[in-house]
Amino acid sequence: MPATTTTTRNNQQPTTNNDENDKQCCLLTRPSLDKGNAECRKSLHLPTHRKFNFAELYTINMCIEECNFITSGYIEIDPPYRLDLANIRINLKSMAPHPQDESIAFLLDAYRKCEVFRSSHGGRFTLHLPDIEFIKEPCNPFSLQITICLRIHAMQKCPGQFYVDSQECGLAKEYFTQCVGDIEANLV
């Protein structure tokens, strides 16, 4: 599934490190579910051996997510963007964890809800970023906004069989439930 890019301030590069899997509380949002991050990152021809600031990291992630969504067939190449749920379903069948009846149903529902949520509230989450000299083509925030929403929703509502029951995950779930606001309650 697209929506798996992570950045760290330590190495300043977007990564898809499998060690991140150990830090995920909902198995439905693990980076290993997406195979396209490395190729999309390479396509940006990022400068090496340099530290990126917040705006650069955000823009890099935004471009990687847009690339992932387009190459996975989740959206068309040109705006206005709309999710192609049929292609998302096909992609999920090849990588979603078992039991897939539950995982795919949850994820498709989350994509639907996040598209509605974004259409109603996306403007509040759009950052006005400066141009980044090494990003040749401007990227649209649609895919990254869907990704962020999907991860928040998964933290709030992750089905029990996919939830990692630990003290750390319990605290994270409590935070996302009580402090962030319920995605489902804000669909209108």
Which tokens sit at 81?
Answer: 């963007």
Closest-CA residue to 4 (of 30, 22, 26, 28): 30
Task: Give mean pLDDT in consecutive 10-residue pieces for the chain, a chain of 188 residues.
Answer: 40 37 75 74 90 91 93 90 95 92 96 92 70 85 92 93 95 88 77
Residue 125 resides in a domain: yes
Closest-CA residue to 64 (of 56, 122, 83): 56
Residue 170 resides in a domain: yes
What's residue 115's pLDDT? 94
Residue identified by tokens 């192609």 is: 84
Domain that holds residue 133: 6-186
Residue 56 resides in a domain: yes
What's residue 186's pLDDT? 78
Residue 70 resides in a domain: yes
| Domain CATH number, residue 87 | 1.10.238.270
Spatial distance between the Cα atoms of 86 and 160, rounded to a whole number of angstroms:
26
Residue 124 resides in a domain: yes
Residue 1 resides in a domain: no
Segment 3-28, tens digit of pLDDT = 443 333 333 333 333 344 445 899 99
What's residue 35's pLDDT? 67
Spatial distance between the Cα atoms of 109 and 158, rounded to a whole number of angstroms:
12
DSSP letter, residue 163: B
Spatial distance between the Cα atoms of 168 and 151, rounded to a whole number of angstroms:
16
What's residue 29's pLDDT? 84
pTM of this structure: 0.81
11: helix, strand or coil: coil
C-beta of residue 4 within 8 angstroms of C-beta of residue 33? yes
| Helical segments of the chain, H only | 37-43, 54-71, 85-93, 100-125, 142-157, 167-178
Residue 79 resides in a domain: yes
What's residue 78's pLDDT? 87
DSSP string, 22-38: GG-SBGGG-GGG-S-HH
C-beta of residue 28 within 8 angstroms of C-beta of residue 103? yes
Contact residues for 168 (Cβ-Cβ < 8 A; gap 6+):
25
What's residue 23's pLDDT? 58
Number of domains in the chain: 1
Residue 95 resides in a domain: yes
What's residue 12's pLDDT? 37
